[in-house]
């Protein structure tokens, strides 16, 4: 009895191997094409990680990242960062800007995609989508220049309107309480159209039969949004949300550096701007690297935690 | 077929990715053709200009070490640094603001310099904004460095680059390679070599030296407006405040039908304070770190002094009254230039050399009328500081070195020496075209030849735009160019400052010769302290914080940011260098 079973197993194993070989052969062009992104990630993302070692050194320009001459400093730069009286303010500002962005800008992109989907005239829908996409391609410097022109206290459009209405001028650009609204508001204006693209694509992938069946059952368009569209794009929303959480400690410093003044440091100075000032302007590369390393570690921890949570709740996760 | 196409596509992309990794620096021979062409296109007439240099100046070159073999070319061309024309490459910035012309072989001075020294320069010019980042990237990259490198304002960058073998150590060659500079500073009695020598005895760079002379940040007044209102140039803080109030009350002084006049402004708060600091007894406020030494040699922080508190309080008051520009916290040089050109500003805190017509605050090189619109004011006084004083500011900055990649470091050093301190070079750099914008009298003194149409020379006619390599803010440069562009300048400056005020107390010198420990302390605290000070300063001025209520919190914050540690550090520097 055992012999036929063993022969069957061998046959089955051979079949599996042959099937795997055939599958690999048929997919070979894709495997080869994968070399490019892998090379990219290795050279641009992983290889530079050796540079992280300078967070533990007294690094100077021109030093090798690791050599027998490296001047190791242990956790000196991490301790220095933690001792900085402004450290918690930097972390708070970074988190607040990102959380506000997630709470306001992220849902707006979803809402915009849903609204676009409801436009019945195709040409108008395409035109609206294209117009909303355009600000994304304007450089940050130009965006900030527009902000300065519109909100300038001296001859800005908004202040001119305020004066016409008999109200006092507001120094938007040098007032702490106005920094976040300006930053988030301009971010929404610039990125909502682009961020909605992913959700628009997800909506386009929903089976039209679902809407037809719902129409037969007398469903309204509003009900379609809540009971068909949103549930169908929920996995995409979750994935995008996870990716945002994975970069919650990271704020692009370019726009802030262009926008902030000492008057607004209280709410605008974030970890990345501090890393820029300390690391690049004052040449404390080790401190700057230590900040980036802390950022990355916290980001990874948050990403893993959020991923586990969503997996438990919704069965959708990054891995 | 599909596989073949995809494979070749992958191969091409992979090769292009790897190809980008191994890019090497362009060799000097690969310089833009336009630059090479421009130097060739230098007018031949300029070649003769060096010969027109005064004999008294020629004497300085004779003091250079004698060339071996007694070459005849040296006798014919005393300024030449080499018999065959040589090429050096230079890495530097465009200019500290858009007001200045970037260095280029298209400019008269650099064409003349090439003829005078027989050295052709290939420029690699990058934006001034963010130069510290650019130079850090340049020094960190494996690319071959230019022969001469402007390493920016950081002494630490120059030291690191030198200690890592990227820069030539001048310490052994100071008197051989820098004959003009060493003589000039020895004559001036300034221990320059000592001050630019690092703690380990090395000297990897030479630096700009700003002598405390004719170009301080001061108050410039709109003369026609003062005359229109019958106002005198104020001498005290009270008079100044009343003057601003009168200007505000006068309303539409520029006659454009709008209430857009700004009584008092500055290109930034940083430039506002030096103009009024001495009026409140805050004497050393033009340098980056506000640490002064008192008459007993004790270093103290100006940040938290009572005088500083009084000054910030007064600024807060005039801001609330609408006398100070509402945009003072976000102003830039270009924004203020626009306001001034639009005839909106009554008083502006600015470098003295900017006084004159409206466009002296805009781009250099513009044809401007020779008119006195913005005139030089007096240093103000108050009960806190009854004696008028000028800020004393002596600074070493802008570190320039010769890279170890340079094949002829001595030539590069000698070229820098000539640029920095050769008498003939200084003369042409400051005074413009020999025989056209100036001539030398029988006493060897340069005399301006004013334009035939009665106007004045512009910076473009006179010199080379912004010198983006080491220079000394010499009296010759400042007084001559001022005489040529604004004849009343020296007279007013002398009347309102040199004959009127005293020098303020000296600052702790910003020299590179810090010990390793001192350097570390400074690097640890300097940036945070500056950011903390700027934040509170602007909030006090704009009324976001109250000087009386929030002063204690401010002092405590600066202490947490390392003010006391910095003070100890500067005390040791002061004790060693003074």
Average pLDDT for chain B: 79
pLDDT band at residue B58 under the 50/70/90 scheme = very low
Contacts of B165 in chain A (CB under 8 A): 62
Q: Tell me: pLDDT of B342 over 80.
A: yes
Closest CB from A80, A263, A281 relative to B132: A281
Pairwise pLDDT comparison (B25 vs A79), residue with the higher score: A79
- Å between B431 CA and nearest CA of chain A: 35
- Å between A206 CA and nearest CA of chain B: 31
Q: Which of A249, A302, A265, A263 is nearest to A171 (CA)?
A: A263
Provide mean pLDDT across the span B320-324.
Answer: 95
Say if B223 falls within a structural domain. Answer: yes
B399 in the same domain as B388: no
Closest CB from A29, A80, A154 relative to B326: A154
**pLDDT score recorded for residue B257:** 87
Report d(CA B408, CA B402) in Å as an integer: 9
| Chain segment B109-160, per-residue pLDDT in tens | 889 999 999 999 999 999 887 788 888 888 878 789 999 999 987 777 888 8
| Chain segment A4-61, per-residue pLDDT in tens | 667 778 888 888 888 888 888 888 888 889 999 999 999 988 888 888 999 999 887 7
Closest CB from A33, A153, A169 relative to B6: A33
Q: Does B155 touch chain A (CB under 8 A)?
A: no
Q: Picking from B119-123, B157-161, B509-513, B555-559, which range would have the lowest pLDDT averaged per residue?
A: B509-513
Q: Does B555 touch chain A (CB under 8 A)?
A: no
> How many residues does this entry show for chain B?
578
Query: Phi/psi at B189 (nearest 5 deg)?
Result: 75, 25
- CATH number, residue B151: 3.40.190.10
Q: Do A63 and B164 touch (CB under 8 A)?
A: yes
Q: Tell me: pLDDT of B26 over 50.
A: no
Pairwise pLDDT comparison (A243 vs B505), residue with the higher score: A243
Say if B15 falls within a structural domain. Answer: no
B233 in the same domain as B326: yes
Q: Does B342 touch chain A (CB under 8 A)?
A: no
B384 in the same domain as B256: yes
pLDDT band at residue B13 under the 50/70/90 scheme = low
User: What percent of chain B shows pLDDT beyond 90?
Assistant: 33
pTM to 2 decimal places: 0.73
Report d(CA A8, CA B36) in Å as an integer: 81
The answer to whether B214 and B492 have CB atoms below 8 angstroms apart is no
| Chain segment B235-273, per-residue pLDDT in tens | 999 999 999 999 999 989 988 888 889 999 998 888 899
B228 in the same domain as B252: yes
Q: In what order do the strands lie in the sheet with B345-351?
A: B262-266, B345-351, B217-222, B374-376
B237 in the same domain as B153: no
Q: Do A62 and B537 touch (CB under 8 A)?
A: no
Pairwise pLDDT comparison (B262 vs B297), residue with the higher score: B262
- Å between A25 CA and nearest CA of chain B: 11
Say if B187 falls within a structural domain. Answer: yes
**CA B3 vs CA A19, A30, A34, A37, B166: distances in Å:** 20, 9, 14, 18, 49
- By C-alpha distance, the chain A residue nearest B268 is A261
**pLDDT score recorded for residue B228:** 94
Say if B17 falls within a structural domain. Answer: no
Say if B6 falls within a structural domain. Answer: no
B318 in the same domain as B303: yes
Q: Picking from A241-255, B221-235, B441-455, B525-539, which range would have the lowest pLDDT averaged per residue?
A: B441-455
Q: Do B527 and A36 touch (CB under 8 A)?
A: no
**pLDDT score recorded for residue B288:** 54
**pLDDT score recorded for residue B20:** 45
Provide mean pLDDT across the span B414-434.
Answer: 87
Q: Does B129 touch chain A (CB under 8 A)?
A: no
In a mutational test of the B interface, the residue from A54, A62, A152 whose CB has the highest number of chain B CBs within 10 Å is A62
Pairwise pLDDT comparison (A281 vs B477), residue with the higher score: A281
Q: Do A283 and B163 touch (CB under 8 A)?
A: no
- By C-alpha distance, the chain B residue nearest A60 is B160
Contacts of A32 in chain B (CB under 8 A): 6-7, 10
Classify each residue of B286-317 as buried b or exposed e, where b means 16 or more C-beta atoms within 10 Å of its C-beta: bbebbbbbeeeeebebbbbbebbbbbbbbbbe
Q: CB-based contacts of B533: which residues, under 8 Å, 6+ apart?
A: B290, B303, B558
Say if B7 falls within a structural domain. Answer: no
Q: Do B6 and A43 touch (CB under 8 A)?
A: no
B450 in the same domain as B306: no
Q: Does B326 touch chain A (CB under 8 A)?
A: yes
B371 in the same domain as B243: yes
- By C-alpha distance, the chain B residue nearest A257 is B130
B126 in the same domain as B262: no
- Å between A123 CA and nearest CA of chain B: 36
Q: Do B329 and A263 touch (CB under 8 A)?
A: yes
Say if B19 falls within a structural domain. Answer: no
Q: Does B531 touch chain A (CB under 8 A)?
A: yes
Contacts of A70 in chain B (CB under 8 A): none
Task: Sketch the domain layout of chain A as residue ranges.
Answer: 76-314
Which parts of B486-546 fold into alpha helices (H)? 489-493, 516-542
Q: CB-based contacts of B400: which residues, under 8 Å, 6+ apart?
A: B92, B148, B149, B150, B151, B205, B206, B207, B416, B469, B470
Pairwise pLDDT comparison (A265 vs B470), residue with the higher score: A265
**pLDDT score recorded for residue B549:** 96
What fold characterizes domain A76-314? MetI-like fold (1.10.3720)
Q: Do A278 and B527 touch (CB under 8 A)?
A: yes
Closest CB from A85, A148, A169 relative to B557: A85
Q: Containing domain of residue B334, as a range?
A: 217-392+477-577
**pLDDT score recorded for residue B485:** 62
Q: Do A283 and B140 touch (CB under 8 A)?
A: no
Say if B2 falls within a structural domain. Answer: no
- Å between A261 CA and nearest CA of chain B: 7
Q: Do A61 and B140 touch (CB under 8 A)?
A: yes
Q: Do A174 and B557 touch (CB under 8 A)?
A: no
Q: Do B17 and A171 touch (CB under 8 A)?
A: no
B100 in the same domain as B51: yes
B387 in the same domain as B254: yes
3-state secondary structure chain A: CHHHHHHHHHHHHHHHHHHHHHHHHHHHHHHHHHHHHHHHHHHHHHHHHHHHHHHHECCCCCCCCCCCCCCECCCHHHHHHHHCCCHHHHHHHHHHHHHHHHHHHHHHHHHHHHHHHHCCCHHHHHHHHHHHHHHHHCCHHHHHHHHHHHHCCCCCHHHHHHHHCCCCCCCHHHCHHHHHHHHHHHHHHHHHHHHHHHHHHHHHCCCHHHHHHHHHCCCCHHHHHHHHHHHHHHHHHHHHHHHHHCCCCCCCHHHHHHHCCHHHHHHHCCHHHHHHHHHHHCCCHHHHHHHHHHHHHHHHHHHHHHHHHHHHHHCCCCC
Q: Do A281 and B6 touch (CB under 8 A)?
A: no
The domain boundary, picked from B462, B491, B510, lies at B462
Provide mean pLDDT across the span A253-262.
Answer: 89
- Å between A235 CA and nearest CA of chain B: 32
Tell me the range of A76-80, A271-275, B181-185, B546-550 where mean pLDDT is highest: B546-550
Q: Tell me: pLDDT of A92 over 90.
A: yes
Q: Tell me: pLDDT of A184 over 80.
A: yes
- Å between B469 CA and nearest CA of chain A: 20
**pLDDT score recorded for residue A25:** 86
**pLDDT score recorded for residue B230:** 95
Report d(CA B494, CA B492) in Å as an integer: 5
Total structural domains in chain B? 2
Report d(CA B434, CA B425) in Å as an integer: 11
Q: Does B3 touch chain A (CB under 8 A)?
A: yes
């Amino acid at each position: 009895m055992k012999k036929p079973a063993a022969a069957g197993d061998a046959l089955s194993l051979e079949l599996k191997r042959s099937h795997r070989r055939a599958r690999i052969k048929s997919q070979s062009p894709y495997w080869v094409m994968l070399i490019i992104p892998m090379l990219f990630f290795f050279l641009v993302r992983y290889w530079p990680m050796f540079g992280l070692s300078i967070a533990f050194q007294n690094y100077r320009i021109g030093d090798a990242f690791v050599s027998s001459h490296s001047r190791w400093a242990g956790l000196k730069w991490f301790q220095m960062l933690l001792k900085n009286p402004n450290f918690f303010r930097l972390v708070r500002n970074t988190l607040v800007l990102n959380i506000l962005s997630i709470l306001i800008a992220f849902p707006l992109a979803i809402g915009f995609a849903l609204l676009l989907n409801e436009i019945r005239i195709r040409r108008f829908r395409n035109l609206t989508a294209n117009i909303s996409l355009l600000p994304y391609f304007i450089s940050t410097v130009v965006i900030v220049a527009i902000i300065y022109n519109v909100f300038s206290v001296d001859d800005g459009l908004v202040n001119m309107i305020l004066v016409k209405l008999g109200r006092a001028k507001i120094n938007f650009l040098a007032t702490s309480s106005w920094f976040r609204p300006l930053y988030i508001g301009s971010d929404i204006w610039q990125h909502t159209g682009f961020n909605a693209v992913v959700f628009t694509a997800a909506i386009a992938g929903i089976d039209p039969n679902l809407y037809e069946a719902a129409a037969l059952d007398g469903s309204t368009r509003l009900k379609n949004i809540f009971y068909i569209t949103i549930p169908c794009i929920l996995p995409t929303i979750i994935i995008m949300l996870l990716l945002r959480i994975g970069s919650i400690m990271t704020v692009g410093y370019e726009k802030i550096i262009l926008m902030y003044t000492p008057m607004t440091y209280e709410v605008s100075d974030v970890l990345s701007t501090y890393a820029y000032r300390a690391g690049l302007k004052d040449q404390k590369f080790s401190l700057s690297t230590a900040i980036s390393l802390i950022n990355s570690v916290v980001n990874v921890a948050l990403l893993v935690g959020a991923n586990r949570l969503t997996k438990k709740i919704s069965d959708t996760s990054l891995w | 077929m599909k596989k073949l196409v995809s494979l070749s596509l992958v191969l091409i992309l992979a090769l292009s990715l790897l190809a980008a990794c191994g890019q090497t620096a362009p060799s000097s021979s690969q310089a833009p053709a336009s630059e090479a062409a421009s130097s060739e296109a230098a007018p031949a007439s300029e070649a003769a200009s060096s010969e027109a240099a005064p004999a008294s100046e020629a004497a300085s070159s004779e003091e250079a070490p004698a060339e071996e073999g007694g070459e005849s070319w040296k006798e014919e061309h005393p300024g030449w640094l080499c018999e065959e024309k040589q090429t050096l490459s230079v890495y530097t910035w465009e200019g500290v603001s858009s007001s200045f012309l970037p260095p280029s072989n298209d400019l008269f001075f650099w064409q003349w310099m090439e003829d005078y020294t027989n050295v052709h320069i290939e420029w690699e010019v990058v934006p001034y904004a963010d130069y510290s980042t650019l130079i850090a990237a340049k020094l960190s990259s494996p690319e071959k460095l230019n022969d001469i490198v402007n390493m920016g304002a950081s002494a630490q960058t120059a030291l690191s680059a030198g200690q890592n073998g990227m820069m030539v150590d001048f310490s052994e060659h100071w008197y051989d390679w820098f004959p003009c500079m060493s003589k000039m500073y020895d004559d001036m009695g300034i221990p320059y070599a000592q001050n630019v020598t690092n703690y380990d005895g090395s000297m990897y760079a030479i630096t700009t030296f700003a002598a405390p002379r004719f170009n301080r940040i001061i108050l410039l007044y709109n003369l026609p407006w003062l005359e229109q209102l019958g106002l005198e140039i104020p001498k005290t803080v009270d008079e100044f405040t009343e003057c601003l109030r009168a200007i505000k009350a006068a309303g539409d002084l520029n006659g454009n039908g709008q209430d857009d006049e700004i009584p008092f402004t500055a290109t930034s708060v940083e430039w506002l304070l030096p103009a009024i600091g001495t009026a409140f007894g805050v004497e050393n406020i033009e340098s980056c770190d506000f640490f002064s030494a008192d008459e007993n040699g004790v270093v103290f922080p100006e940040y938290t002094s009572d005088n500083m508190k009084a000054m910030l309080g007064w600024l807060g008051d005039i801001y609330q009254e609408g006398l100070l520009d509402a945009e003072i916290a976000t102003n830039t040089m270009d924004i203020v230039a626009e306001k001034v050109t639009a005839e909106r500003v009554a008083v502006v805190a600015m470098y003295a050399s900017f006084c004159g017509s409206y466009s002296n605050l805009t781009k250099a090189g513009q044809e401007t009328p020779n008119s006195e619109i913005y005139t030089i004011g007096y240093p103000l006084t108050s009960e806190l500081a009854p004696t008028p004083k000028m800020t004393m500011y002596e600074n070493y900055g802008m570190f320039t070195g010769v890279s170890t990649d340079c094949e002829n470091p001595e030539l590069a050093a000698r070229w820098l020496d000539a640029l920095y301190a050769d008498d003939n070079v200084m003369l042409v750099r400051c005074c413009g075209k020999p025989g056209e914008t100036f001539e030398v009298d029988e006493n060897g003194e340069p005399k301006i030849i004013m334009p035939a149409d009665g106007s004045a020379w512009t910076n473009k006619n006179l010199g080379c735009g912004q010198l983006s390599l080491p220079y000394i803010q010499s009296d010759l440069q400042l007084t001559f160019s001022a005489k040529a562009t604004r004849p009343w300048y020296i007279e007013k400056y002398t009347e309102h400052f040199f004959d009127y005020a005293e020098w303020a107390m000296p600052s702790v010198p910003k020299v590179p010769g810090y010990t390793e420990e001192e350097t570390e302390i400074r690097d640890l605290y300097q940036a945070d302290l500056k950011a903390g000070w700027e934040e509170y300063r602007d909030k006090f001025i704009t009324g976001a914080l109250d000087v009386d209520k929030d002063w204690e919190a401010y002092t405590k914050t600066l202490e947490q940011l390392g003010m006391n540690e910095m003070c100890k550090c500067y005390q040791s520097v002061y004790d060693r260098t003074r």
